[in-house]
Structure 1
Amino acid sequence: MLFLLGGNDKKKAKAESNQRTENMERVRELFLNGRFPVVTTDRVEGRAISRVLGLVCCRGYDSDETFFGMAARAVNKGAQAIIGYSENVAFHPDGSKYFSCYGTAVQFERDDKERDRLALEV
């Protein structure tokens, strides 16, 4: 009878982990294809910012997982880019590293070309 009470938590955790991995892979593809800019400056060249969605951050022991985890959180908020990106690395005496990444999630104004393209797709 006890196994009925404890089995659900493991399934739920595994499903959440799979969803998180899928989101990070999707964001990785967006970033590597140049469709999700992450910049250290306060603007993206050639694009006007229409809405600031807020701070996004992530911490961890793997630099790629930390970076793409932060980007996935921004995409989940509806962001189209991250501005003001910064990262920190803390070194522990035992040799391990701890990464922190943060930036501001933003959305862009739609330009006329994008509006025309969206109208044709509908």
Structure 2
Amino acid sequence: MLFLLGGNDKKARKADAPRTENMEVVKELFMTGRFPVVTTEVLEGRALGKVLGLVVCRGYDSDEAFFGMAARAVNKGAQAIIGYKENVAFHPDGSKYFCCYGTAVQFEKPKKSITV
């Protein structure tokens, strides 16, 4: 019974934790096409240089889940997300819970061509 009484304190501390994700910067990057998010495993015309790993974000708002995922990728140093997927859980009370995930990647640096 003791665990039932102490549960809210943990949630309150987690809600007060500072967010390190800069959502407005990430929204701007995505909307201007400088941070692609694709469902495919490759991005045509770009060679993958480094896979940084899975990024996931969940929430009751679809924009919060999507841009939170993108912000986590940007914080890792990613230049894009490939293999993007999302799930939506519908609750009996009418609310929706979104889960967005994908693989954060960096591209190979373009090789400089030397002209003589």
Quick check: TM above 0.5? yes
Q: Distance in 2 between matches of 1:68 and 1:104?
A: 14
Post-superposition offset of 1:32: 0.2
Counterpart Cα distance in 1 of 2:31 and 2:102: 18
TM-align CA RMSD? 2.0
Q: Which residue of 1 aligns with 2:87?
A: 88
**Runs of at least 5 residues in structure 1 that lack an aligned partner in the other structure:** 1-9, 116-122
Identify the residue that residue 24 of structure 2 maps to in structure 1.
Answer: 25
Across the two proteins, how many residue pairs are aligned to each other? 100
Following superposition of structure 1 onto structure 2, how do residues 59-70 of structure 1 map, counting pairs within 5 Å?
Answer: 59-70=58-69
Using the alignment, how far apart are the partners of 2:53 and 2:111 within structure 1?
26
**Counterpart amino acid of residue 31 in structure 2:** L
Task: Give, in whole Å, the separation in 1 of the partners of 2:40 and 2:86.
Answer: 13
TM-score in terms of structure 2 length: 0.80
For 1:5-20, what aligned pairs fall within 5 Å after superposition?
13=16, 16-17=18-19, 19-20=20-21
| TM, length-normalised to structure 1 | 0.76
Runs of 4+ in structure 1 deviating by more than 4 angstroms, as ranges, are none
- 1:39 Cα deviation (Å)? 0.1
Q: Return the alpha-carbon distance in structure 2 between the equivalents of residues 81 and 102 of structure 1.
A: 12
Which protein has the bigger helix share? Answer: 1
| Separation in structure 2 between the aligned mates of residue 27 and residue 45 of structure 1, nearest angstrom | 22
Kindly indicate whether residue 34 of structure 2 is the aligned counterpart of residue 35 of structure 1.
yes
Unaligned runs of 5+ in 2: 1-12
Q: Match for residue 77 of structure 1?
A: 76
CA distance in 2, matches of 1:45, 1:61: 32
